[in-house]
Amino acid sequence: MINIQAAGFSAPSIIQPLRPKGNDWTQLPVPTAIYSIGYPSEAWQYRDGLCVISAVEVMADEDKGPEYHLSVSKWGKTRCDSNEAKWVLAQFALEGAEEDNHVPNGIARHFWRTVAEPLIGLECECKADEPVICENKGDYIWRPTKDM
């Protein structure tokens, strides 16, 4: 069981990161140098180079409770396309997740879905106020944050 940390306390999390259901996935150490948030997380790589960090997080500016978060890239160095991302979402049983990226020229694509089933489908409130920027002929969409 993975511990979560909040407000200076550490406790075991009963909600664990999602794991892939298909074959040919290898679990890797989580790259803590770039991903150390204090929430449960696991890193996975598919044989063709698709890399996923699967986590459970609580966003302070939202009222959805814990959310599953998948960060998807290729070899951790390039962005995957929408079809590859859709395949990964199916592998992790996260269909219907909301893509929400906040990095220009980002390598990873970020997908979120609340753990609470009645709240699935509610979009992040930030999307209403943030301009949409399309890259790669619309295959990658990101939004600048207020502090960018």
- Mean pLDDT for all residues in the chain: 81
CA 110 to chain centre: 4
Higher pLDDT, 135 or 113: 113
The number of folded domains in the chain is 1
Q: Which amino acid is at 139?
A: D
Domain with 110, as residue range(s), is 3-142
pLDDT in tens, 81-110: 999 999 999 999 999 898 988 777 789 999
Check pLDDT > 70 for residue 21: yes
Higher pLDDT, 127 or 148: 127
Q: Give the pLDDT confidence score for residue 130 in this predicted structure.
A: 76
Asked whether residue 94 is domain-assigned, the answer is yes
> Confidence band (pLDDT; 50, 70, 90) for 124?
low
pLDDT in tens, 24-48: 999 998 876 555 566 788 999 999 9
Structure-token pair, residue 67: 């959310």
Q: pTM of this prediction?
A: 0.79
> Confidence band (pLDDT; 50, 70, 90) for 146?
low
Asked whether residue 148 is domain-assigned, the answer is no
Asked whether residue 47 is domain-assigned, the answer is yes
How far CA 66 is from CA of 45, 61, 118, 146, in Å, comes to: 24, 12, 13, 23
Asked whether residue 56 is domain-assigned, the answer is yes
Q: Give the pLDDT confidence score for residue 96 in this predicted structure.
A: 86
Check pLDDT > 80 for residue 137: no
